[in-house]
Each structure stands twice: as structure tokens, then as C-alpha cells.
Structure 1
Amino acid sequence: MKSGIRIQLSFMMFLEFFIWGAWFVTLGTFLGTNLKADGLETAKVFSTQSWGAIIAPFIIGLIADRYFNAERILGVLHLIGAGLMYLMFKAENVAVFYPYVFIYMVLFMPTLALVNSVSFRQLQDPEKQFSSIRVFGTIGWIVAGVAISFFHWDNEQNNLQGDTLRNTFLMAAIASAFLGLFSFTLPKTPPKGKGTTAKISEILGLDALKLLKDPNFLIFFIASIAICIPLAFYYQNANPFLTAIKLENATAKMAIGQVSEALFLLLLPVFFKRFGFKNTILIGMLAWAVRYVLFAYGNAGELAFMLIIGIALHGLCYDFFFVSGQIYTDAKAGEKYKSAAQGLITLATYGLGMLIGFWVAGYISDHYKMADGSTDWKMVWLIPAGIAAVVMLLFALAFRDKSKAAAQVEP
């Protein structure tokens, strides 16, 4: 691959995840502090990510795969997204903010697949080359978080006095506009499915429902939905929690999670080889429970190290469950249903699982709101810790797959 194309693809990935990290990490804090949203209103906004994940296959399957170049659709979606981000920047209340964020997420979620599509079409050996491109996305997310703390936009006093957290949307809008224009310079990626037809069931991955006839895959599928409930608590409540307890440079510190994600991804093959699929995924589930217990009992003072460890466990939580699950699904599906099966798991996790999770997190947050306006964060974190522990226990008892797919050790 030419060095110029590698630079283009790396920069594309950097901007893609910089845009997402620029506003999504601090969204919960912005909604509660700046727009005075309650827990259920916050859940409604966060659930737009799930609706985007559910609707995204239609956009990719029905449009991108058949009619237009991927890089052009990527450009158009990000240019529209820049306009929506600016409208979110100007919104003064949740009622005005919600329709903009809903449309934005429906348009943004497909771009996650589009940047992968543009990259894969330029790589001669994707298995070896893609990770060196994708890592710039993680770097982009980290830089966004560090920038927010560097400018002190997430500082509670600055935000209360100057509405500074609103600037995250303007930063994302500028980056989105830039990526939108830059996308038109990317290597041409024409649609592969032009002139072909496909059933809706194929586009949405519903053909892979046949895999659910296998009791072990069904157990894994249900566990994938259930474990996304505690995951939603992290996305929705972590930044508001860390900001509320006055952890210094909270947004920058949350970027530690992305650093650990990259590190644990490298360790994943070692764990597969030594412990196997089931034990690796159980470690990931256990990490969810442990991190939330650390959040429940940690503080911004002498026990701040507990919070940092909890944040750093993000890589273990995410990679050991989600990436392991993707590998298991790929091996279980076989050649015929590979794409369909991955689409089904994405719908189950980022779609259904997190949709439920965001609403549960919103309800729990409201339930433990104190009379003085503060939140009983200890209970807010112990509940998802308990959910993760129960899911882990049930999976350990019920999952008994002895097939070659479950024994696979090479990601």
C-alpha cells in the first residue's frame, strides 16, 4: 500500500473517532448540567445511538452497497452531521436538542462501517494491515478527551459560569465538516453490490437467526444483550459521576480506557491460548462487576486510584467480551453466514442491549436522585455491578460449548 493512501486512511480514522469522542464522552454531564435533563430524558438522548445502530444496516445495505461510492456517502453524511452538530451546539433545552441528536446518530452510525469499508478495499492483507490503520481512531478519541480537559471545558465551575461544555459540539462540528470535505479526496470505493438485489433479511443479518437453534449460541446471544445493560451505565453516567465528585481532568482521565483497550487487544490472543473462549469471556464479564464496585467505593481524594483502575479496566471489559464474542460468532457462523451473524450480534448489542441499558440506567439515576439534587452514586454503580455478576454466573453455568468454534484460540 502506498504511503500516501496509508496516511489518508489513518487521518480518516483519526477524525472519525475524534468527532465521536469530542462530544459523546461528556454528553451525560452536558445534558444534566447545561440542559437540566433528568435521568429518563438523558436515557432518551443516549438511546439514539441504539436506534442509529438498528437503522444503520438499511443505509449501508440498501444504499452504500448498491448505488454510491462509500467515500462519497461518508462525505455527505459528515457534512450533514456538521450542520446538525452546530444545531446541537445552539440548542437551549432537551426538547430542541433531541431531534437533532436523533437524526445525527442515525447518520453517524453508518459512517463507522463506511470508514472500515473504505479501508478494507485499499488493503492487500487486511488482517495484518487494518489494526495499524484503526489504532489512529483510538488516538483520535484520546486526543478529543485530552483537548476537552486541556481547555477546561469540563471543569464544573467553568461550565456552570460560562456554559463551556457546549463548545464540545462546536469542536465536533468543525471536525465533521473537515472530514466531510476530506472524504471526497479518499480513494474511490465503488459499491460492490451494484446491480444486485438482496432480501431485507440478508441485509439485516436475520438469516443468521438459524444459529440460535444451537443452545450454546443462544445463551451467548442472550448474554450479549444482558451484559450491554451495565455497559450503558458507563457511557451514560461515568463522566457525570467523575465530574460531580470533582475528579480533576475527568475527561482526559477517561481516555485511559481507550489506551487500555489497545493494550488488552494485543493480549487477547494470549488469553485465548491459555484460558480458552469461555474463560476469556468470563474474565471480561467479571471486569464489568469489579470496575463498578471500584466506582461505588472510590472517591476523588485518597481513593482516586480506585477510579483510575476502574477506568483502565475498560479495555479488559470491552475486548474480552465484545471482541472475543465477535471472533466466536465468526467461527460459529461458517462461511455462509459470517456477515449476517456479525450484523445480528451488532443489532443485539449496540441495538437492543444498549437500548434497554440506557433506559435502565436512566431510571436508576432518577430513582437515586437525592432531595438536594445530588445522586447516590454508590447505589447507581452497585446495581450494574450486580447485573454483570449475575450474567457472569449464569453464563458460567449454562454455556457448555465444546465445539471447535468455542475452542478456537487464534483471533
Structure 2
Amino acid sequence: MNVKARLTLMNFLQFFIWGSWLLTIGVYWFQNKQWSGTEFGVIFSTMGISSIFMPAIIGIISDRFINAEKLYGILHILASLVLFCLPMVDNPSTFFWVILLNMIFYMPTLSLSITVAYSALKNANKDVVIDYPPIRIWGTIGFIAALWAVSLTGNEASANQFYIASAVSLILGIYSFTLPKCPPLASKVEAKSFIDSLGLRAFTLLKQKKFAVFFIFSMLLGAALQLTNAYGDTFLHDFKSIPAFKDLLAVKYPAIIMSISQISETLFILAIPFFLKKFGIKYVMLFSMLAWVLRFGLFAFGDPAGGLWMIVLSCIIYGMAFDFFNISGSLFVETQVDEKMRGSAQGLFMMMVNGFGALFGSFASGLIIDHFFTFADQSKDWTNIWLTFAAYTLILAIVFPFIFKYKHNRAEKTAIKAMSHS
């Protein structure tokens, strides 16, 4: 098997693990365990907590002490063991600590998989810019495949979703030891300080207004991503309590409907160079915020019957909402930050989106839903839940262009031109 095929399999399995439970854990939580929404918000915050510190710490270890592919394999094997134990937990507080332990092992593998892939491609004399994106897209396909597998086997509310994820994690962990060697490079390059390795130097950018505004909005948009991940599948599942909807395909297999979001994500990536060239980074970010408004607003008025088109359209719009801010945001960092600090600044961007943003979104949504939109029988007022989320992102979209002072510049145009040709 050539190096690109081996890395393709690695990416497929990497995201198959996550797709096995990330969007369906809410159904397991509310319908199988019947635990509260506030507690669920705390559970979903584990991704944010682990994203704040673990990738940087594991990055230091792989830079200085152990081969990246071996560390990658060890983490997946440990995560497999935790996922296998997860269904045995019958207490929400204990569930929090166990799922947090799983995320502590899993989240660093996202960046390690990139490290391993880049190293292997470079050693095989491949062009990373050209050869990596077609490999990475198989990660999204793996996520979609997992959603379909869990849904078609009737395991969206079942503990089996964790056993599936555990088995695939174990397979990937063992497979990782066969991947091309990616030894520590600290001895061959200038050693970074501990502060630089953790990306803490980038926090000095917050002294500048444009970066402070950008990173704050990154956190607030990261919260929006958690809302759709946490509650989308659960929202569709809840229609089964309504006799007129319970036998419809969208209610029987909601994860398959939600997978349209990931399919859309892969397609909108192709449109980004055009939009960036036509409108620039600032307005592409704004389009992302408006897309989130539509994402939630369509959910508010959609249903699995006559309103199915709204739900499907919402899933299609997700691709724009997710891709446009993440790609344009990383491009903003690339073109505006001094090259000596770009790596740590990109890390801070991801920390704001997947770390602090995830924490804020998880805690706030759990409390709001539990206190204002949950009825006595524990059913949810989904229309007003989604309208509240839509109002939140609409406020962001209205405020953003007035306080984010940024104009098209030569560095941005050069980067977009390079992106268009890659």
C-alpha cells in the first residue's frame, strides 16, 4: 500500500471514531439515560476543556521525546479502552469524568494525524499542499460513514455506538504502529521555549484591537458549532413522540439526515477561493455568521414531513457556516501575524473555536435549555430553542462588521491567489 493510501485509511478511521458518537450522544443521553440538559451541556464541554491544553502538551512530547506515529497509536488504544467502559457508567457525574478522559486522549490525535501525514508526504517527496487535501477529505467521508452505520443499525440511542467507536479506535491504534516513522525533531531544530510550545506567546496579540475582536468572535462562533453538534440529532429524534411523524425516514434515521451537513462541508470548501477573491476575508466571515442564522432558523420551522426541505436546506447551509469562518479565519491569521508567531497564533485560533468556544456553548446552552425550554415531562420546546440560537448568531452578524475594522490587503490577495491555484 503506497503512502497516500495508508494516510487515507488513517484519516478515514480517525473521523469514523468521532462520527460514531459525537452527533448521537445526545440521543443516548436524553432518551436512553434520561438525564438533564444542564448536565448534558457539561458533558459536551469536555471537548473544549481537552482542546485548551492537551494538543499543545502532546505536541511538546512528540517534538522532543517519542515518535508521533507511536504516540498517536498509544492515545487511540487508551481512548478505545475508555470508550469501551463508557456504557457501564450509570451516573452523569461519573460519565463526565470518563468522557473527559476519552477526549483528553482523542483530541490531540487530530493534530498528531496532521503531523504524521505531513511528515510521511514530505519524506515520500510529495507536495503537501496538493496531496494532503484529497487525503483529508476521506476523514469527512469516514465521519459520514460512521453516522450512516450507527443510524442504519439502529444504534443512535444505544450504548453500541460507543462499542463501535471503541473497536475502530483499537484498530487504528494498532494500525498506527505500521505508519511511516515520524521521529522527534527537537534535536535537529532550534528548541522552542515552553511558553512558545504551548502557544502562549500568541496571547500578546490580544493587545491589538483587531486581533482581540477577531479572537472573541472566534470563540462566540465556536459556541454556535457546539449547539448544532450537541442538539441536531436529538432534535430530529424527538419527533418520534408525535404519531404523525414517528414512521418517517427522517425520524427513523436522523443521523443520515444530519450527515448532509458533512457532505455539504466538503463541497463548500471548493467554493471558498471564489468567495474570498470576490468579497475578501471580512465578508466571508460575515457570510458564515448569516449562514448560522439560517441554519438555526430553518431548524426552528422545519419538520420531518412537509418541512423536511427546511431541515435538508439547513444541513446544506451548515457547510457554508462551518467552512467559511474556519478557513477565512485561519487565512486572516496567516496574512496578519508575523511569521515567527503564526504557528502559535493558529493554535490560539483553534483554542478559541474548539476550546473556549466549545466550553461557552456547552455550558450556556445546557443551562438555557434546561431552565427555559424544557417542559415538566422533560420534552423540549425545539422551535424556541432554535430561534434563540438564531437570534444569538444574528446579533453577532449585526455587530461584527461595525467593530471588526479590516480591509482587503496585498498579503490577503496573494494568499487567496495561492489558495486558488493549489
Q: Distance in 2 between matches of 1:255 and 1:337?
A: 36
**SS of equivalent to 2:21:** helix
Deviations 1:4-56 (A, max 9, x none): 11111000000000001001110111111122221111011111101110122
Residue in structure 1 matching 2:235, options 226, 237, 241: 241
Letter in 2 for 1:218: A
Q: Distance in 1 between matches of 2:56 and 2:218?
A: 22
Q: Distance in 2 between matches of 1:153 and 1:172?
A: 12
Q: CA deviation at 1:57?
A: 3.2
Q: Report the equivalent of 2:244.
A: none
Q: Report the equivalent of 1:134.
A: 136
Q: Report the equivalent of 1:93.
A: 91
Residue in structure 2 matching 1:48, options 35, 46, 49: 46
Whether contact under 8 Å (1:224, 1:348) holds in the other structure is yes
1:297 matched to 2:304? The reply is: no
Q: Report the equivalent of 1:356.
A: 360
The aligned length equals: 400
1:280 matched to 2:289? The reply is: no
Q: Distance in 1 between matches of 2:101 and 2:377?
A: 35
Q: Report the equivalent of 2:340.
A: 336
Q: Report the equivalent of 2:73.
A: 75
Residue in structure 2 matching 1:398, options 400, 403, 419: 403
Q: Distance in 1 between matches of 2:133 and 2:201?
A: 29
Whether contact under 8 Å (2:55, 2:108) holds in the other structure is yes
Q: CA deviation at 1:406?
A: 5.1
Whether contact under 8 Å (1:281, 1:321) holds in the other structure is yes
Whether contact under 8 Å (1:287, 1:313) holds in the other structure is yes
**SS of equivalent to 1:24:** coil
Q: Distance in 2 between matches of 1:386 and 1:229?
A: 14
Q: CA deviation at 1:248?
A: 3.4
- Provide structure 1 residue ranges, at least 5 long, that are not aligned to the other structure: 160-164
Q: Distance in 2 between matches of 1:287 and 1:376?
A: 22
Deviations 1:252-287 (A, max 9, x none): 111111111110001000101111111111111100
Q: Report the equivalent of 2:152.
A: 150
Q: Report the equivalent of 1:382.
A: 387
Q: Report the equivalent of 1:162.
A: none
Residue in structure 2 matching 1:199, options 179, 193, 200: 193
Q: CA deviation at 1:335?
A: 1.5
Letter in 2 for 1:94: P
**SS of equivalent to 2:283:** helix
Q: CA deviation at 1:197?
A: 4.3
Letter in 1 for 2:175: F
- Provide structure 2 residue ranges, at least 5 long, that are not aligned to the other structure: 241-250
Q: CA deviation at 1:172?
A: 0.5
Residue in structure 2 matching 1:119, options 114, 117, 120: 117
Deviations 1:93-116 (A, max 9, x none): 323322211111011100001110
Q: Report the equivalent of 1:185.
A: 178
Letter in 2 for 1:271: F
Q: Report the equivalent of 1:172.
A: 165
Q: Distance in 1 between matches of 2:56 and 2:279?
A: 38
Q: CA deviation at 1:405?
A: 4.5
Give the TM-score normalised by the residue count of structure 2. 0.91
Superposition pairs of residues 28-67 of structure 1, within 5 angstroms: 28-67=26-65
Q: Distance in 2 between matches of 1:391 and 1:206?
A: 27
Give the TM-score normalised by the residue count of structure 1. 0.94
